[in-house]
Amino acid sequence: MKLLAGNSNRPLAEAIAAYLRVELTRAKVQRFNDMEVFVEIHENVRGEDVFIIQSTSYPANDNLMELLVCTDALRRASAKRITAVVPYFGYARQDRKPGPRTPISAKLVANLVTEAGAHRVLTMELHAGQIQGFFDIPVDNLFSTPLMVPDIKANLGTDDLTIVSPDVGGVQRARGFAKRLDVGLAIIDKRRERAGHSEVMNVIGEVEGRRCILVDDIVDSGGTLCNAADALLEAGATAVQAYVTHGVLSAGAVSRIAASSLERLVITDSIRPTEGVRVADKVRVLSIAPLIGEAIARIASEASVSSLFD
Ligand code: R5P
């Protein structure tokens, strides 16, 4: 097995390599002066089972291009099997046409990854499970429950706890958490009655006197979580925390969360946390390195990956 790291999240790639007790493959993934990506692999990969670790997070297009160019380099170097390990799969939110004459960019990215030469994909907490169907190669979509459920049990216990989906689209994910923790489930239904009128947040389910945990796949601006926390407290929740897999945390998000009624935000390192995220009081980062490392070990030995969730 060989592990090749792009530049998007080197610390995660190193932690995965340490879990698997292998060295990262020696390679140069760099830029020409005009920002073209150039890759040079410095060891033989002929006939090898190679895993490229690269989240397509900010800067999304550069990181995606690195992934494609690395894949092409490996294919031309006769790697036997290439797995694109994309802990955060950017463009996943563009998974349908929201209006006429708009693209389905998630499908385009799936085509690009396949066409570049990947034989399979390993990713985590896809925005929508159906994105697996955009690929005609095998896709393993890991869930964050094996990581987050034990963390919730250890740090918060389950007394008076309710899991909350911040929108209707996330209900299946939230139900998975609630089931594993054996606690109740609530849903926030966001509605804009008329264009130009502010959104109304209806809380569906019992949250009065409960400690609520919002679960989501992505926190980007933080708006969804902060508004949901306010709505839950207004409905009588005693405290609100959030567990979110991918900390996109674009400009202003960390200070928005700091100023919000959210008590704590737990994210993973699927996207490399910035310095601002690392020092933020309310934000805690869980590492997915053991989970991804274990999935890679199982793919390499043709063992079951889904049994990771049993
Ligand atoms: C949307 O469907 C996603 O699951 C997240 O809720 C959304 O991307 C969060 O975005 P923001 O943090 O900008 O509200």
Per-residue pLDDT of 208-229, as tens digits, reads 999 999 999 999 999 999 999 9
Q: Which of 94, 125, 201, 216 to mutate to test the pocket of ligand 1 (most atoms within 8 A of CB)?
A: 216
CATH code, domain with 233: 3.40.50.2020
**Same domain, yes or no: 25 and 116:** yes
Task: Measure the CA–CA gap between 210 and 160, rounded to whole angstroms.
Answer: 5
Q: Which atom of ligand 1 is nearest to the CA of 222?
A: 12
Cα 256 to ligand 1 centre (Å): 14
Confidence of residue 309 (pLDDT cuts 50, 70, 90): confident
Question: What is the chain's mean pLDDT, rounded?
Answer: 96
Task: Measure the CA–CA gap between 218 and 264, rounded to whole angstroms.
Answer: 15
pLDDT tens-place string over residues 48-83 = 999 999 999 999 999 999 999 999 999 999 999 999
Q: Which atom of ligand 1 is nearest to the CA of 219?
A: 12
Cα 248 to ligand 1 centre (Å): 10
Tell me the sheet residues that pair with 4. Answer: 52
Confidence of residue 42 (pLDDT cuts 50, 70, 90): very high
**Same domain, yes or no: 132 and 217:** no
**Same domain, yes or no: 51 and 115:** yes
State the Cα torsion 142-145-146-147 to the nearest 10°: 100
**pLDDT at residue 197, as a whole number:** 65
Confidence of residue 175 (pLDDT cuts 50, 70, 90): very high
The protein residue whose alpha carbon is closest to atom 9 in ligand 1 is 219
> Could you give the percent of the chain with pLDDT greater than 90?
94
**pLDDT at residue 196, as a whole number:** 64
The protein residue whose alpha carbon is closest to atom 10 in ligand 1 is 220
Ligand 1 near 218 CB (within 6 A):
yes
163-169 mean pLDDT? 95
**Same domain, yes or no: 79 and 197:** no
Task: Measure the CA–CA gap between 37 and 30, rounded to whole angstroms.
Answer: 6
Q: Which atom of ligand 1 is nearest to the CA of 221?
A: 13
**Same domain, yes or no: 167 and 214:** yes
Is 80 exceeded by the pLDDT of residue 199? no
**Same domain, yes or no: 123 and 247:** no
The beta strands (E) that lie in the chain are given as: 2-5, 27-31, 37-41, 49-53, 81-86, 120-124, 139-142, 161-165, 184-191, 200-204, 211-219, 239-247, 264-268, 283-286
Confidence of residue 126 (pLDDT cuts 50, 70, 90): very high
**Same domain, yes or no: 93 and 174:** no
Q: Which domain holds residue 201?
A: 145-287
pTM: 0.96
Ligand 1 near 247 CB (within 6 A):
no
**Same domain, yes or no: 267 and 295:** no
**Same domain, yes or no: 302 and 215:** no
**pLDDT at residue 231, as a whole number:** 95
**pLDDT at residue 190, as a whole number:** 84
Catalytic amino acids? 190
**Same domain, yes or no: 234 and 154:** yes
**Same domain, yes or no: 298 and 255:** no
**Same domain, yes or no: 64 and 9:** yes
Cα 17 to ligand 1 centre (Å): 31
Task: Measure the CA–CA gap between 308 and 295, rounded to whole angstroms.
Answer: 8
How far is C-alpha 11 from the geometric centre of its chain's CA atoms? 16
**pLDDT at residue 307, as a whole number:** 86
Ligand 1 near 223 CB (within 6 A):
yes
Structural domains of the chain, count:
2
Q: Which of 218, 226, 243, 249 to mutate to test the pocket of ligand 1 (most atoms within 8 A of CB)?
A: 218
